[in-house]
Amino acid sequence: MLANEERFVRVSVAGMNTQLENTLRFFFQGPCKGRYELAADESAEVSIIDVDVYQGKDYLDRCRQRHPDRPLILLSFNDIGDDVDTTLRKPLKPDALLSALNKAMDTPSRTTLPNRAVLQKETAYSVASQATQNQTATSRPATAASPVQDKPRNIAEAVAKQSAAPIAEEPTIEEPAAKKLCYSDEQALLTHLESRSDKRVDRRPQYDTADYLQGHLLQAADKARRLHRSIKLELTGGNIVVMPPAIKETGDTPATLEGLQRVMLNITREVFTSIAKDPLDQRAIKLSKIKNDCPHEGGAGILTKDIDTVMWESAIWASSGRLPVGTSLTDPVQLDRWPNMTRLMLIPGSIRIAALWLEHPLSLQATSRMLGIPESHVFTFFSSLSAVGLARISKRVSQGHGDAHGNGKAVVSARPKSGILGRILNRLRRK
Amino acid sequence: MNNHKIIFTGPVGAGKTTAIASISDTPPVTTDEAASDNTLHRKPQTTVAMDYGVMNLSGGEKLHLYGTPGQERFNFMWDILTEGGIGLVLLINNNTKDPEGDLRFFLEAFGDFIDETRVVIGVTRMDEETRPDVADYHRILKNSNVNVPVFQIDARERRDVALLLESLLYSLDPGLVN
């Protein structure tokens, strides 16, 4: 914290392009809280010179000649053996730069500090501009043509302006993100979950994937991979074709299967959802092998997706707030990695749950309790993760952060920046 | 009044300028210029200095969004730029010669910052080039013992960028509540 917010040090730079100047500006305005500001060479109290650039040594000599009492901070990848001025080795570290600037501030030659208004009138960065113009092609961006020189100042000014500008009033209460961000399908899912939760979750119901479209898709995908043939699922109201993975042949090495299997959906969205929700009559399903160069491919009204996306969606609808048979409610969940959430149907809380499980494997019940997310949502998310092989129940108990039942409250305790993170979250959820 | 920042980085043409624009409350100030030399075939305009956007938060706070210049393969001031930052958004253009190499390079270049905060990865242009896929990126990350969000995104879509940022926030604090 500064003793006097209006006191600051004027710093000129030489041997830097506009991008580096901007980086320093942001650093001075942000982490340094305005304690330093870029200034014209003539009015600066400290100069930072990149001596690695073409003519860098010339800038140094010129600056020493013009301002013999001015503290200099030299930047270089090399040890330049300067015993008069402060030399900072690249890459530049914030602490080292701050230390060097503080040291420069303490030099007796610097007597008076300017009023901020005076500095704002200054527009010329003579040494810096000269340096930018004289840089070699290797030390500056290839496209740094003359029109660029004025624009970075606009960025800096934009930062200053934005930092000072009043803002519109924040809405008081936000709806959950997924509700706002969701597609119509996701909204339909929420409605569906809410309508079924009272009937099912309280009785801790589970479901057998084999009875649902999810199980049949899994069976078709296995078969397609094993036989390397496309497998067609004939359903009431349409059909689904699961294709085998591509074969990769590289020289003399044995051919391998590569990439995700693709699925062609010759079925409307509404029919897919309807079929995926309820147990299927086994007699109404026909599974058959077809040629790989399926005539349906690319046809009108046929949607092609990868198998994981289709499995995910079918699991969500089949689950509807329940869990696959045999799933433990009290053992911890092991999540292998983040799912590709921007391309999947999400229910509220999915991102929070994934982040928690990756850091602290907890049981399904503990997760619901700890995050305050309905069990039906946690169960549905787990079911979809499980369907694409990303999550499973593990016997390994989370260590150091309480037990798998979520009795260790430290697991999700607030962190130092939680306040600002929450405000960013609220802003993101506001359209 | 505190001002906070999130850094957007990645190779040329990855969509940093566009991603910032899609979530910024003000039109982003950018320094895109006509590209020349080796970047011309990828993007007619390229950022030579820096992108800047802002999100207005409650209580008068600001979240600054900084995009690094795409042409830079190395910048001796990366640490200065990231100082005090909340986290890193790394965007990878899938339709380049070596997106996996880009991923490794930027993770290494911002290694210290990532260790102190968190990173999320958005893969763009997957509709133009499907390989590597998201699972491939995770395999690379697993080899480096890194397990972070990797999402396919369209940088023009606010929803995609917002979800990516949400995952960054929850990675920083899974217990975060709104």
CA distance B30 to chain A (A): 7
Residue A168, burial from CB neighbour count under 10 angstroms (0-12, 13-18, 19+): exposed
B171: nearest Cα among B141, B143, B153, B150: B150
Subunit contact A155:B148, Cβ cutoff 8 A: no
Assess whether pLDDT exceeds 70 at residue A5: no
A330 confidence band (pLDDT: 50, 70, 90): very high
User: Is A33 touching B (CB cutoff 8 A)?
Assistant: no
> To the nearest whole percent, how much of chain A has pLDDT over 90?
43
Q: Does A152 touch chain B (CB under 8 A)?
A: yes
In this structure, what are the phi and psi dihedrals at residue A370, rounded to the nearest 5 degrees?
A: -70, -40
Question: How far apart are alpha carbons A37 and A39 in whole angstroms?
Answer: 6
A146-155 burial, b for 16+ CB within 10 Å, e for fewer?
eebbebbbeb
Q: How far apart are CA A223 and CA A216, in angstroms?
A: 10
Whether the Cβ atoms of residue A56 and residue A49 lie closer than 8 Å to each other: yes
Look at residues A157, A256, A15, A307 and name the one whose alpha carbon lies nearest to residue B76.
A15
For residue A17, which residues of chain B lie inside 8 Å, CB to CB? 49
Count of beta carbons in the 10 Å neighbourhood of residue A167: 16
Residue type, A365: Q
Rounded to two decimals, the ipTM of the complex is 0.89
Judged by CB atoms closer than 8 Å, whether chains meet at B58 and A425 is answered as no
Select the residue of B34, B79, B159 nearest A181 (Cβ to Cβ).
Answer: B159
Phi, psi of B3 (to 5 degrees): -120, 135
How would residue B1 be classed by pLDDT, with cut points 50, 70 and 90? low
Shortest distance, CA A282 to any CA of chain B (angstroms): 33
How, if at all, do strands B87-93 and B3-9 pair? parallel
> A31 and A67 in contact (C-beta within 8 Å)?
no
- The pLDDT of residue A251 is 60
A237 touches chain B (CB under 8 A): no
**Chain B interface includes A26 (CB < 8 A):** yes
Distance from CA of A349 to the nearest CA of B (A): 10
Partner residue opposite B36 with nearest CB, options A143, A358, A423 = A143
Alpha carbon dihedral A324, A325, A326, A331, in 10-degree steps, equals 30
What's the confidence (pLDDT) of residue B58? 86
Q: In this complex, do A352 and B174 lie within 8 Å of one another by their Cβ atoms? A: yes
- pLDDT higher than threshold 80 for residue A252: no
**CB spacing of A420 vs B56 below 8 angstroms:** no
Which positions ≥6 away from B21 have C-beta within 8 Å?
A: B27, B28, B53
At A190, the amino acid letter reads L
A363-401 confidence digits (pLDDT tens): 999 999 999 999 999 999 999 999 999 999 987 655 444
Rounded distance between C-alpha atoms, residue A252 and residue A213, angstroms: 40
Task: Name the residue with higher pLDDT: A198 or A9.
Answer: A9
Strand pairing class (A230-235; A238-242): antiparallel
Inform me whether the pLDDT recorded for A44 exceeds 50. Answer: yes
Cβ atoms B49, A151 nearer than 8 A = yes
Nearest-CA distance from B48 to chain A in Å?
6
Residue A96 pLDDT exceeds 60: yes
User: What crossing angle do the helices spanning A269-277 and A307-319 adopt, rounded to 10°?
Assistant: 50
Q: For residues A381 and A375, give the distance between their C-alpha atoms in angstroms, rounded to a whole number.
A: 10
Higher pLDDT, A397 or A117: A397
* Contacts with A351 from chain B: Cβ below 8 Å: 163, 166-167, 170
* Diameter of chain A measured on Cα atoms: 94
Instruction: Find the distance separating the first CA and the last CA of chain B, reported in whole Å.
Output: 21
Neighbours of A392 (CB within 10 A): 14
**Which among A93, A158, A177 is the nearest to B166, CB-wise?**
A177
Q: Looking at CA atoms only, how far is residue B104 from chain A in angstroms?
A: 18
DSSP per-residue letters across B32-62: EEE--GGGTTT-SEEESS-EEEEEE-GGG-E
CB contact under 8 A, A163 and B3: yes
Angle, alpha carbons A385-A386-A390 (nearest 5°): 65
Whether the per-residue pLDDT at A254 is higher than 70: the answer is: no
Q: Are A425 and B178 in contact (CB under 8 A)?
A: yes
Size of interface A-B (CB pairs under 8 A): 240
Collect contacts of A396-405 with beta carbons under 8 A, ≥24 apart. A396/A332, A396/A334, A396/A361, A397/A332, A397/A361, A398/A332, A398/A360, A398/A361, A398/A362, A401/A360, A402/A360, A404/A330, A404/A331, A404/A332, A404/A361, A404/A362, A404/A363, A404/A366, A405/A330, A405/A362, A405/A363, A405/A365, A405/A366
Helices marked H in B71-120 = 78-82, 99-109, 111-116
Q: Using the 8-state DSSP alphabet, how is residue A235 labeled? A: E
Contact predicate B68/B8, CB 8 Å: yes
Residue of chain A minimizing CA distance to B136? A259
| Contacts with B152 from chain A: Cβ below 8 Å | 340, 342-343
pLDDT of residue A411: 57
Q: Which of B91, B97, B94, B90 is nearest to B38 (CA)?
A: B97
- Choose between A417 and A44: higher pLDDT: A44
**Confidence class for position B49, pLDDT limits 50, 70, 90:** low
CA atoms of B42 and B65, how far apart (whole Å): 24
Residue A255 DSSP label:
P
CA-closest candidate to residue A11, choices A80, A79, A63: A63
Mutate to test the interface with A, among B4, B8, B76 (most CBs of A within 10 A): B76
Q: What pLDDT is recorded for position B77?
A: 87
Burial of A354 (0-12, 13-18, 19+ CB in 10 A): buried
Averaged pLDDT, A136-156: 38
Q: Does A305 touch chain B (CB under 8 A)?
A: no
Q: Which residue of A has its CA nearest to B85?
A: A31
Q: How confident is the model at residue B71 (pLDDT cuts 50, 70, 90)?
A: low
Q: Token match 């505190």: residue?
A: B2
Average pLDDT over all residues of chain B: 86
Token digits for B33? 């210029």
| Residues A53 and A135 sit within 8 Å (Cβ to Cβ) | yes
Residue type, A363: S
- Nearest residue of chain A to residue B142 (CA atoms): A337
Q: Look up tokens 């979950």; give the residue.
A: A193
- Name all contacts of A195-203 with Cβ < 8 Å and 24+ positions apart: A196/A320, A196/A321, A196/A376, A197/A321, A197/A374, A197/A376, A200/A320, A200/A321, A200/A322, A200/A376, A201/A321, A201/A322, A201/A374, A201/A375, A201/A376, A201/A379
